[in-house]
C-alpha cells in the first residue's frame, strides 16, 4: 500500500490562502494522489447511492457536486503544469492519468442508481424551494447525465466508455507533438547582414538564444516573440519564407506528425455523438451553447464572410500594388504579407509598431492592468514573494477588494520556454465555490509567451503582446470575481461562446488613452506615451481588418468542417482544407501547410465545434463596450453592472439573460461590423 503521508497533493501543508506547495511536489506524487482521489470519490458515490433517505437536492445533487473534490486538486495541478512546465517524462504520465479520469467520469454519469436519484430530484424541480443557482445546478446535473450516456443500454454505455478512454489519451499526444515540433525548429543565422530590418530587441533576443544553445550568431525560432518580428521586419525574403513555411508545416508529416491522431480524434467524437443520438459532434456541443445548432453557426460565419471577403480582397490587392510599386514585387506570397503590411501601415498612418514598444515595459503593463482593475472593480493586487511557485519566472499576487477581503490568488507566468506550449491562456488551479463544506476563493493563473528581457533590454512588448495580456487578464477577472455557490457553475465555467466576452472586452482598454496614461511610460525617459502616437494607433484600428477576419474565419470553418460532418469520409487533410476554405484564400497556397495539424485549440483544447465563439463573443464585446464608451471607460456604475451581471454570475443563469440584465437588450450584430470598418 502506497504511503501517502508525505505526498503534498494528499496531505497538503497549510500555506497562506490555501496556496499550492509547488516546491514539494514531485513527479512521483501525481499518480498516487489521483488514485487516492479516485478511491475517495468512489466512497462518496457509494454513500450517495446507499443513502436511505429519499433523493433530495442536498443528499444527491449537492453531494454529487462535491464528490470528486479529492480528484480535482491533483488533476488540475498536473494538467496545468503539463501545459506550462513539463518534460516528456511528465507528459507521458497523461497516458495513465487521462484514461483513469475518463473511466471514473463515465462510471459516475452512467450509473443507473445515481441517475435514478438525479431524475427523481429533477422531476420535482417545480415543487422544490430552490434559488435560481440551485435550480440551474439541478438542470445542468440532469442534462450532464443524459448527455453522457445515462439513458443508453449497457452495450452502448460500454462502447461510449471505450471511446472516452481512447480519446482521453490522444489530446495530450497531439499537444506534445506540436510542442516538440515547435521546439525542434531553429533558423541559425551567422551573417549579421541577413538580419537587416530586424528590430534591435528581437535581434538581441536571437543572439541570446544562440548563446544559450552554445552557437555563434543568432537563432530565430517559431516562438511568437521571435517569429512575429522576423516575418514583419526581415528584409531578406528567403528567410521570411523559411519561417512561414516551417510554421505552416508544423506536425504535418515527419517525426511529430499529427495527421492520423487528429483524424482519429474527430472520428471518435463523431461516433460518440451518434451513440448519444446526435447527427454530429457539432450538434452535440452546440446544444449547450448560445448558438444552439450548426445552422446558426453557419449562418453567422457566412454573414461575416459576406461582409469581410470583399474588404479583404481589396486590402490584399492594394498590398500587392504597394509591394510592386516600392520593390517591383510581382509574385506576392504569404511570407510577404506581414512585411509589406507593416510598411504600408507606416506610409498610411506615419508610425511603426515598434515605436510603441519602449512604452510597454512588461512590469509597467502588469501594473497597468492592476490599476485598471482597481478603477473598475476596486481590486488591489499585492505581490507575495514567500509563496512557492513552479518556475522561477512566475509571480504571485494576493487579490483583495475594497473591504480588504481576500478575493483570490493570481499567478503570472509570461515568458516562453521549451517546457511550455505556445500561445497564451488563463487557467485555474482552484475554482471558486463549494469545496469540503466551505466556499473557497479561486487560484487563477495567466500564462503567455511574451518577449523576454535580454542583457541589453528589459522585456519590452509590442502592442499585440499588450493586448494579449489584457485579453487573458479579462479571463482572470472573470474567474477572480466569481461569486457563486457551486464550483461547476462558477466563472469562467460558462458557455464557450460567452466565455470570451470578459477577455475580449478587456482588450479595449489597451488602446484607450485614458487607460494608457496610467502605465505607458518610456522605459528610459519616463515620458508618457504621446497622445498623437495613440491617435495614430486608433486611426489604424480598422487597417486590414478584412484580412484579419478572413484569417479567423478560416479557422472557424476548418473547425466546423471537422465536427459538423461525418469525418470518416476525410482521408486527405490537404484536400479537406482546400475544399473547406479554398474560397477564403487570398494568396497562393503553400505546398506543405496544414491548419488542422497545429490546431491545438480544437484537438488538444476545449474549442472543438467552438472556435466560432471568438467572433461570436466579439459581437458581444463590441456591443458591450459601447456602454462603457457612452458612460466613460471607468464609469463606476457601468463597471459595477458588468461585474454583478456578467463577471460574478458564472453559469448561474443563461448567458443571454445575464447579458440583457447588463445592457438592457440583446446585442446588436452590427456593432462588430461597424467597429471593424466592414460597414
pLDDT in tens, 207-257: 999 999 999 999 999 999 999 999 999 999 999 999 999 999 999 999 999
Burial group, residue 620, by CB count within 10 angstroms (0-12, 13-18, 19+) = buried
Look at the domain 16-151 and name its fold.
Answer: Glutathione S-transferase Yfyf (Class Pi); Chain A, domain 2 (1.20.1050)
Is 2 a residue whose pLDDT tops 90?
A: no
| Cell numbers for 75 | 488533476
Alpha-carbon gap, residue 658 to 673, rounded angstroms: 23
Q: Categorize the per-residue pLDDT at 3 as very low, low, confident or very high, splitting at 50, 70 and 90.
A: confident
Q: What is the pLDDT of residue 456?
A: 87
Structure-block grid coordinates of residue 166: 481512447
CATH architecture of 358-544+614-675: Orthogonal Bundle (1.10)
Distance linking the first and last C-alpha atoms of the chain: 68
Give the percent of the chain with pLDDT over 90. Answer: 96
Q: What is the pLDDT of residue 641?
A: 98
Q: Is the pLDDT of residue 410 over 70?
A: yes
Distance CA 72, CA 65 (A): 12
| Mean pLDDT value across residues 16-45 | 97
pLDDT band at 1 (very low <50, low <70, confident <90, very high): low
Dihedral over Cα of 228, 231, 235, 238: its sign: positive
Instruction: Give yes or no for a contact between 163 and 103, defined as CB atoms under 8 angstroms apart.
Output: no
- Please give the class, per CATH, of domain 259-327+345-355+545-607: mainly alpha
For residue range 342-401, list pLDDT tens digits in order. 999 999 999 999 999 999 999 999 999 999 999 999 999 999 999 999 999 999 999 999
Task: Please give the pLDDT value at position 412.
Answer: 98
Buried b (16+ CB within 10 A) or exposed e, 489-521: bbbbbbbbbbbbbbbbbbbbbbbbbebbebbbb
Query: Across residues 589-594, what is the average pLDDT?
Result: 89
Cell of 214: 552554445
Please name the residue that has the C-alpha cell 456578467: 646
The whole-angstrom separation of Cα 66 and Cα 45 is 10
- Burial class from Cβ neighbours inside 10 Å (0-12, 13-18, 19+) for residue 42 reads middle
Burial degree of 429 (CB within 10 A; 0-12, 13-18, 19+): buried
DSSP letter at 21 equals -
DSSP code for 521 = B
Q: Same CATH topology for 16-151 and 259-327+345-355+545-607?
A: no
Give the pLDDT band of residue 203 (cuts 50, 70, 90).
very high
Q: Distance between CA 366 and CA 379 in Å, rounded?
A: 14
Cβ count within 10 A of residue 383: 13
Q: How far is CA 81 from CA 76, 90, 299, 469, in A?
A: 8, 9, 38, 20
| DSSP states of 407-437 | EEEEEEE-S--TTS-SS-EEEEEE-SEEETT
| Catalytic sites, residue numbers | 472
Residue 543 predicted with pLDDT over 90: yes
Q: Are 342 and 353 in contact (CB under 8 A)?
A: yes
pLDDT-derived band of residue 590, with 50, 70 and 90 as boundaries?
confident
Q: Would you state the cell numbers that stand for residue 437, as one nine-digit string? A: 463544506
Q: Give mean pLDDT, residues 593-610.
A: 96
Q: For 253-283, how does the pLDDT look when each residue is reduced to its tens digit (9 = 90+)?
A: 999 999 999 999 999 999 999 999 999 999 9
500, 617 contact by CB (below 8 A): yes
Domain-wise residue ranges, the chain: 16-151, 186-248, 259-327+345-355+545-607, 358-544+614-675
Cis check for the bond before 492: say yes or no (omega within 30 of 0). Answer: yes
Give yes or no for a contact between 440 and 430, defined as CB atoms under 8 angstroms apart: yes
Given this model, what pLDDT does residue 265 score? 98
Amino acid at each position: 500500500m502506497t504511503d501517502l503521508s508525505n505526498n503534498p497533493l494528499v496531505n497538503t501543508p497549510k500555506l497562506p490562502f490555501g496556496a499550492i506547495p509547488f516546491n514539494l511536489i514531485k513527479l512521483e506524487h501525481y499518480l498516487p494522489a489521483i488514485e487516492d482521489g479516485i478511491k475517495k470519490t468512489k466512497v462518496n458515490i457509494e454513500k450517495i447511492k446507499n443513502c436511505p433517505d429519499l433523493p433530495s437536492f442536498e443528499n444527491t445533487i449537492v453531494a454529487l457536486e462535491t464528490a470528486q473534490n479529492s480528484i480535482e486538486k491533483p488533476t488540475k495541478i498536473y494538467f496545468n503544469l503539463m501545459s506550462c512546465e513539463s518534460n516528456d517524462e511528465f507528459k507521458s504520465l497523461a497516458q495513465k492519468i487521462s484514461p483513469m479520469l475518463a473511466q471514473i467520469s463515465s462510471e459516475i454519469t452512467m450509473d443507473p442508481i445515481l441517475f435514478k436519484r438525479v431524475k427523481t430530484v429533477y422531476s420535482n424541480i417545480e415543487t422544490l424551494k430552490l434559488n435560481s443557482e440551485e435550480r440551474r445546478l439541478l438542470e445542468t446535473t440532469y442534462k450532464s447525465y443524459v448527455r453522457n450516456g445515462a439513458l443508453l443500454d449497457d452495450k452502448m454505455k460500454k462502447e461510449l466508455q471505450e471511446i472516452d478512454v481512447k480519446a482521453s489519451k490522444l489530446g495530450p499526444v497531439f499537444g506534445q507533438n506540436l510542442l516538440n515540433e515547435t521546439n525542434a525548429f531553429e533558423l541559425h543565422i551567422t551573417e549579421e547582414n541577413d538580419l537587416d530590418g530586424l528590430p534591435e530587441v528581437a535581434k538581441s533576443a536571437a543572439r541570446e538564444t544562440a548563446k544559450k544553445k552554445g552557437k555563434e550568431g543568432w537563432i530565430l525560432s517559431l516562438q511568437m516573440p521571435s517569429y512575429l518580428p522576423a516575418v514583419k521586419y526581415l528584409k531578406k525574403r528567403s528567410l521570411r519564407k523559411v519561417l512561414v513555411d516551417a510554421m505552416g508545416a508544423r506536425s504535418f508529416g515527419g517525426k511529430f506528425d499529427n495527421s492520423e491522431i487528429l483524424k482519429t480524434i474527430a472520428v471518435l467524437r463523431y461516433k460518440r455523438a451518434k451513440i448519444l443520438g446526435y447527427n454530429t459532434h457539432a450538434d452535440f456541443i452546440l446544444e449547450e451553447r448560445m448558438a444552439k445548432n450548426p445552422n446558426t453557426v453557419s449562418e453567422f460565419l457566412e454573414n461575416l464572410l459576406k461582409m469581410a471577403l470583399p474588404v479583404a480582397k481589396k486590402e490584399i490587392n492594394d498590398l500587392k500594388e504597394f509591394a510592386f510599386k516600392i520593390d517591383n514585387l510581382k509574385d506576392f506570397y504569404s511570407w510577404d504579407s506581414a512585411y509589406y503590411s507593416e510598411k504600408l501601415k507606416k506610409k498610411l498612418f506615419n508610425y511603426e509598431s515598434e515605436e510603441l514598444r519602449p512604452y510597454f515595459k512588461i512590469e509597467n503593463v502588469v501594473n497597468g492592468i492592476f490599476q485598471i482593475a482597481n478603477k473598475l472593480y476596486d481590486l488591489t493586487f499585492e505581490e507575495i514573494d514567500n509563496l512557492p511557485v513552479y518556475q522561477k519566472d512566475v509571480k504571485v499576487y494576493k487579490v483583495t477588494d475594497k473591504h480588504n477581503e481576500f478575493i483570490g490568488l493570481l499567478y503570472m507566468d509570461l515568458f516562453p520556454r521549451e517546457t511550455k506550449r505556445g500561445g497564451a491562456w488563463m487557467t485555474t488551479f482552484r475554482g471558486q465555490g463549494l469545496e469540503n463544506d466551505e466556499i473557497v476563493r479561486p487560484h487563477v493563473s495567466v500564462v503567455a509567451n511574451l518577449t523576454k528581457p535580454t542583457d541589453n533590454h528589459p522585456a519590452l512588448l509590442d502592442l499585440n503582446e499588450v493586448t494579449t495580456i489584457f485579453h487573458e487578464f479579462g479571463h482572470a477577472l472573470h474567474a477572480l470575481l466569481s461569486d457563486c455557490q457551486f464550483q461547476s457553475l462558477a466563472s469562467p465555467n460558462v458557455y464557450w461562446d460567452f466565455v470570451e466576452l470578459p477577455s475580449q472586452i478587456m482588450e479595449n482598454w489597451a488602446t484607450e488613452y485614458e487607460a494608457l496614461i496610467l502605465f505607458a511610460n518610456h522605459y528610459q525617459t519616463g515620458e508618457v506615451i504621446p497622445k498623437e502616437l495613440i491617435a495614430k494607433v486608433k486611426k489604424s484600428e480598422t487597417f486590414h481588418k478584412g484580412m484579419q477576419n478572413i484569417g479567423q474565419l478560416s479557422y472557424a470553418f476548418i473547425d466546423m468542417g471537422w465536427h459538423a460532418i461525418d469525418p470518416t469520409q476525410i482521408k486527405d487533410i490537404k484536400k479537406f482544407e482546400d475544399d473547406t476554405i479554398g474560397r477564403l484564400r487570398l494568396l497562393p497556397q503553400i505546398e506543405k501547410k496544414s491548419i488542422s495539424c497545429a490546431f491545438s485549440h480544437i484537438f488538444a483544447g476545449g474549442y472543438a465545434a467552438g472556435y466560432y465563439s471568438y467572433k461570436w463573443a466579439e459581437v458581444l464585446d463590441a456591443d458591450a463596450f459601447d456602454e462603457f464608451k457612452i458612460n466613460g471607460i471607468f464609469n463606476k456604475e457601468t463597471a459595477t453592472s458588468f461585474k454583478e451581471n456578467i463577471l460574478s454570475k458564472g453559469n448561474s443563469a443563461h448567458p443571454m439573460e445575464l447579458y440583457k440584465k447588463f445592457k438592457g437588450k440583446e446585442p446588436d450584430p452590427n456593432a462588430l461590423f461597424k467597429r471593424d470598418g466592414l460597414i
